Amino acid sequence: MKLEQQTQISSPPKIKKLEQGRTTLPLELLVDVFRTINTYSDGFPTDLALDTDIAIIKTKQQELWTQCKCKKKASSKLPQCCRVCGRMGPCVTFQDLIVCFPCRTFFRYYAGRGGQLKSCKRSKHCARLGALRDCQECRWDKCISLKLDPLKVDVKKRGNVAEFINPWIDPWILVRFVDFTAIRRMTFNLP
């Protein structure tokens, strides 16, 4: 029991010619073709919605890729020069500045601790000697000189401190809601 369906097309469909030599059909024509195939191929109607949705998604993806003529973005994977330590590697934009992942983590961690760092052993010449990543004080000073703001660091990503007030503005203002483990670490110089 075969059924035949005759469709009338008032105007010929516009077939797009791609650069690779492939052709694509318009979306409306593809939907009609899928409906016809699914309805009359074996005599029983099948699930048209699923097949139609898949066809629409595939054609939309193909059209978008041909229009953009671009590949997937991998900007974070491209090696760039970190503005803080100067090393080449995968970088991210952090507070409108291109920094590497270790420098971003360093700044977030010590911004949460209120900028309490070990002092420099090389009399603040670490940047010229190429040991900026090894010295906490010089690395922090470089971050501050590049206009990284400790107050813009997210509360959840600061470590144990729930609220941080800049100690350079007023030294008498204390940090509120500090976790007791953070106080013990600061008092007894624990790692």
* 85 and 171 co-located in one domain: yes
Asked if residue 137 and residue 59 are part of one domain, the reply reads no
Q: State which of 68, 95, 128 marks the end of a domain.
A: 68
19's tokens = 């650069």
pLDDT tens digits, one per residue of 64-73:
666 665 554 4
Q: Tell me: the pLDDT tens digits for 79-127?
A: 788 889 888 888 888 888 889 989 998 888 888 777 678 888 888 878 7
Q: How many domains does the chain have?
A: 2
Give the pLDDT score at 162: 43
Sequence-separated (6 or more) residues with CB below 8 Å from residue 140? 107, 110, 115, 117
Instruction: Verify that 30 and 114 share a domain, yes or no.
Output: no
**Global pTM value:** 0.42
If asked whether residues 169 and 103 sit together in one domain, one would say: yes
Rg (CA), the chain: 30
Is 59's pLDDT higher than 70? yes
DSSP state of 136: H
Task: Residue 136: give the domain boundaries.
Answer: 79-188
- Asked whether residue 10 is domain-assigned, the answer is no
From 41, 68, 95, give the residue that closes a domain.
Answer: 68
- Which pLDDT tens digit goes with each residue over 118-135? 888 888 878 777 778 888
Based on the domain organization, do 132 and 60 belong to the same domain?
Answer: no
Q: Which long-range contacts (CB under 8 A, 24 or more apart) does 114-118 make?
A: 114/161, 114/164, 114/167, 114/175, 115/140, 115/150, 115/167, 116/186
Q: Are residues 61 and 112 in the same domain?
A: no
Q: Are residues 61 and 27 in the same domain?
A: yes
43 and 113 both lie in a single domain = no
pLDDT at 76: 46
Closest CA to 124 of 116, 135, 133: 135
- Structural domain contains residue 5: no
User: If you average pLDDT over every residue of the chain, what do you get?
Assistant: 67
